[in-house]
Amino acid sequence: MVRFWVLIAIVAAIVFVVIWILDDADLPRHEKLEQIEHDVVCSEGSLSGCAICLEAYVACERRATISSCGHRFHAHCIEAWLRENNSCPLCRHRLV
Ligand SMILES: [Zn+2]
Ligand SMILES: [Zn+2]
C-alpha cells in the first residue's frame, strides 16, 4: 500500500513539472524581445518620432530598433506593443 502512495507522489511530481515546463514554454514574448536592439541616441534631432505614441524623440532617451525591419521606436513603447502584438506597428513585419 505504501508503494501506491509513492507512485501517486511520483505521478503528482511529474504532472507538476510538466505544468511548470509548459508554463515556462510561453517563449514567443521572449523571442520577440530578442529581436529588438536597444540603443540610446543623443545626436538625432527631433525630425522623426515614435510611430506608436506619435511623440517626437527627445535626445538621449532609450530607443529600440526591430532588427529584422529596422524600424525604431521608444523602447518602452515597442515593449508594451509586443506584449499584445506579434508584428512591427509600422510595416506589420511579423516577429514570430
Ligand atoms: Zn513612443
Ligand atoms: Zn517595421
| pLDDT tens digits for range 15-27 | 777 778 666 655 5
Could you tell me the pTM of the whole model? 0.64
Residue 89 burial (C-beta neighbours within 10 Å; 0-12, 13-18, 19+): middle
Which listed CATH number (3.40.50.1820, 3.30.40.10, 3.60.20.30, 1.10.10.2840) goes with 28-84? 3.30.40.10
**Domain range list for the chain:** 28-84
28 pLDDT higher than 70? no
CA distance 67 to 69: 6
pLDDT of residue 86: 93
Residues with Cβ–ion distance below 5 A, ligand 1 = 50, 52-53, 74, 77
Residues 31-69 have pLDDT tens digits of 888 889 998 877 755 567 899 999 988 888 899 999 999
Cα 6 to middle of ligand 2, angstroms: 55
Output the CA 51–ligand 1 centroid distance in Å.
7
Q: Higher-confidence residue: 74 or 96?
A: 74
Q: For residue 39, report the distance from its CA to the centre of ligand 2, in Å.
A: 17
